[in-house]
Structure 1
Amino acid sequence: MRPNHPRVGSSVVSVLATVVCLAVVLGVTFYLVNPQSEVTVEKAPEQVQTPVETPIVLEEQETVAVAPAVETKPVQETPRVSPEEQVAAHLSAGEFGQAIEVAETVGNLQDRTLLLKMVVKAQMDSGDFMAALGTINRIPLADERTKAMSERAQAMSLAGGSQLA
């Protein structure tokens, strides 16, 4: 038979008692293992010590031979490459990502738009219409972006629509 009043809560009390005993044992162990040492601080008298400097004396003097003067040629400046030339070079190498990076460094919005449209045209010519869409979305001028979208749609339809699948 089952008792009418089972012992409820006795397991909780035993667990709590065990945890408390364990905490006490750990606390005492920690205290005994790490004894607190007394620290004494002595104040030293303040004295400023100055280093004694000894003069540097050269025992022997060295003679140095001087080479005759050589004519130096002025350094030629490296030719400046325009962003258009850089983008064209990257596109001819098939480096679309680097061409986009160069185009985005241009501060003038009109010039940036022209450079990005060059990249879009090269991407569409290679048949990568999805990459062209990503580049079109980077065009800062809304009218030019819309024109580029319509050019992309026309190029996709002329390509046979295989990119739509």
Structure 2
Amino acid sequence: MALNDVRPVNPSDVPCGRFRAEAGATAILAGEPVKIGGTGSNYVVPLADAEPTTSADIMGIASSNSTQTATADGYVDVWLADPSVEWSAKAESAAAVDTEAEILGLLNDIVAFNLAAGVYTVATGSAASTNGLRITGGNASQGTVTFRILNQASSLNT
């Protein structure tokens, strides 16, 4: 996995919570999206590719690295998936957002994360009404998009 894949645009505006990370589970790095999972759904785990969706919701974005080991549970601090917070991440394809006109064409598209080679990006080419991220803008020179997590895809809404 990669560090700082996803970041809040204004970190001081984001509510945060602490969650358990299961012993022996995949380490969670700061900047990775997480959902409820693990044994008995008592933990957070990394989001899978093509999530969040309205049926596979998101708890938030890790704001710290998880502390679990192979034999002991740990914890991870998480910026909560508050729909009022704006986030930033690289687009799956930099070529899809390398002009302002292309970014304007993506505004309000409903998309999900792409997970490839351990890196989370925003899948700009996979708009579907059941996805959980709404594109709000971007930065053509950096190859990033900004987005909000939809209320119906947030664990805070369930």
Give the TM-score normalised by structure 1.
0.21
Greater relative CO (CA pairs within 8 A, separation 6+): 2
As a proportion of its length, which structure holds more strand?
2
Give the TM-score normalised by structure 2.
0.21
